[in-house]
Amino acid sequence: MKAVVCTKYGSPEVLKLRDVEKPTPCEDEILIKISHTTVTSSDCIVRGFNLQKFHPARIAMGLVLGFGKPKNPILGMVASGEVEAIGDAVTKFKIGEKVVAYTVKSATKMKFGTYAEFICIPQDWMIFSKPANISSEEAVAIPYGGSIALHFLKKGNIQKCKNVLIVGASGTVGSTAVQLAKHYGAKVTGVCSTPNIKLVKSLGADRVIDYTKEDYSKTSEQFDLILYAVPLLASNKKGYKKQLKPLLTPTGKLISIHNGSPIPNMVDLLFLKQLSESVVFKPVIGRIYSLEQIAEAHKYVETGHKTGNVIVSVN
């Protein structure tokens, strides 16, 4: 099968398209023929081992992923596709079923492997049937941005928030957060650049601030929750907390998506699936690349100015 192999940590050029052995499912695994995967800021961080030398998570990252080069040379964490084969003990899925998979089980169990034509995953990992009303491209965009946005919105007690500010509203996490915040009944102000104003408004934002023309930290409004959803790759503004705290209500919260990496759970993923089926939440697709163009996709994501999700068409 075709797969993109990460031979060592480094720039996007370390990603090489190769012919590798097609996997065979173990007793409790399903074999997915992958149609689409994604490229996220987390993928870029893993590929480049991009954490500061003395970052507290650097050693833990090395222990899980491998030092010098990845233990699993095929990166990628999310896949949509079709079940092609199942192990003898599999009861949850059937051959031919359309599914979406997130190859992270826990903080220490990260399988990766979705930059390929096929992948084997245990049936009790983060796998769910694809919503029938959306495409495979859209479905693969649900788990990553969706689970991160939902995690941090719940951390900010979104159910009780009346006025929410989302900085980075047109990105993978931000575009989801706008829709989820509106679902919970909040008034939403989104911050983005000029080309994305129309998009953010279409997602339900009540007001959109163009940061290229207006200093959003000078707004006269106050917010119950401010979600700073600017990707780590683009966010080198250490002073954002000082800028944004004056915009909070006395009991308001300022939360950044950089504050830890949430581990996905099936409850949240199934909730997001339900919202997509009821057309409350629709993943935003920014660009679609082929498997052969994956290095180019990584370069684009690393600019820190992508719109929505970056999808890779595999088959």
- Residue 5 vs residues 44, 160, 215, 249: alpha-carbon distances, Å: 14, 45, 42, 48
Q: How far apart are CA 113 and CA 221, in angstroms?
A: 45
Q: What is the model's pLDDT at position 53?
A: 46
Q: What is the model's pLDDT at position 254?
A: 95
Does some domain include residue 113?
Answer: yes
Does some domain include residue 269?
Answer: no
Q: Three-class SS of residue 56?
A: coil
pLDDT tens per residue, range 172-196: 999 999 999 999 999 999 999 999 9
Are 40 and 144 within 8 A, CB to CB?
Answer: yes
Q: Which residue among 256, 275, 293 closes a domain?
A: 256
Kindly tell me the number of DSSP H helices and DSSP E strands found in the chain.
Answer: 9, 14
Regarding whether 57 and 20 lie in a shared domain, the answer is yes
Model confidence, pTM: 0.91
Residue with tokens 């068409």: 313
- Please report how many Cα atoms fall inside a 13 Å half-sphere around the Cα of residue 186, on the Cβ side: 29
Percent of the chain with pLDDT over 70: 91
Q: Which residue among 256, 274, 297 closes a domain?
A: 256
pLDDT greater than 90 at residue 68:
no
Regarding whether 154 and 113 lie in a shared domain, the answer is no
Regarding whether 19 and 72 lie in a shared domain, the answer is yes
Does some domain include residue 245?
Answer: yes
| Beta carbons within 8 Å of 263's beta carbon, 6+ residues apart | 104, 106, 107
pLDDT greater than 80 at residue 281:
yes
Are 38 and 285 within 8 A, CB to CB?
Answer: no
Regarding whether 175 and 52 lie in a shared domain, the answer is no
Q: How far apart are CA 22 and CA 17, in angstroms?
A: 14
CATH number of 165's domain: 3.40.50.720
Does some domain include residue 278?
Answer: no
CATH number of 126's domain: 3.90.180.10
Q: What is the model's pLDDT at position 70?
A: 76
Regarding whether 136 and 21 lie in a shared domain, the answer is yes
Regarding whether 134 and 15 lie in a shared domain, the answer is yes
pLDDT greater than 60 at residue 15:
yes
Regarding whether 97 and 40 lie in a shared domain, the answer is yes
Amino acid at 300: Y
Does some domain include residue 268?
Answer: no
Q: How far apart are CA 200 and CA 179, in angstroms?
A: 9
Q: How far apart are CA 292 and CA 63, in angstroms?
A: 30
Quote the domain boundaries for residue 236.
144-256
Does some domain include residue 261?
Answer: no
Regarding whether 123 and 185 lie in a shared domain, the answer is no
Regarding whether 92 and 20 lie in a shared domain, the answer is yes
pLDDT tens per residue, range 110-156: 789 999 999 999 999 999 999 999 999 999 999 999 999 999 999 99
Give Cα 208 to chain centroid, integer Å: 23
Q: How far apart are CA 232 and CA 63, in angstroms?
A: 21
Regarding whether 159 and 108 lie in a shared domain, the answer is no
Are 92 and 123 within 8 A, CB to CB?
Answer: yes
Regarding whether 11 and 98 lie in a shared domain, the answer is yes
Q: How far apart are CA 169 and CA 176, in angstroms?
A: 8
Does some domain include residue 97?
Answer: yes
Q: What is the model's pLDDT at position 54?
A: 41
pLDDT tens per residue, range 28-55: 999 999 999 999 998 998 898 765 444 5
Q: What is the model's pLDDT at position 311?
A: 98
Number of domain units in the chain: 2
The top-scoring range by mean pLDDT among 57-71, 184-198, 222-236 is 184-198
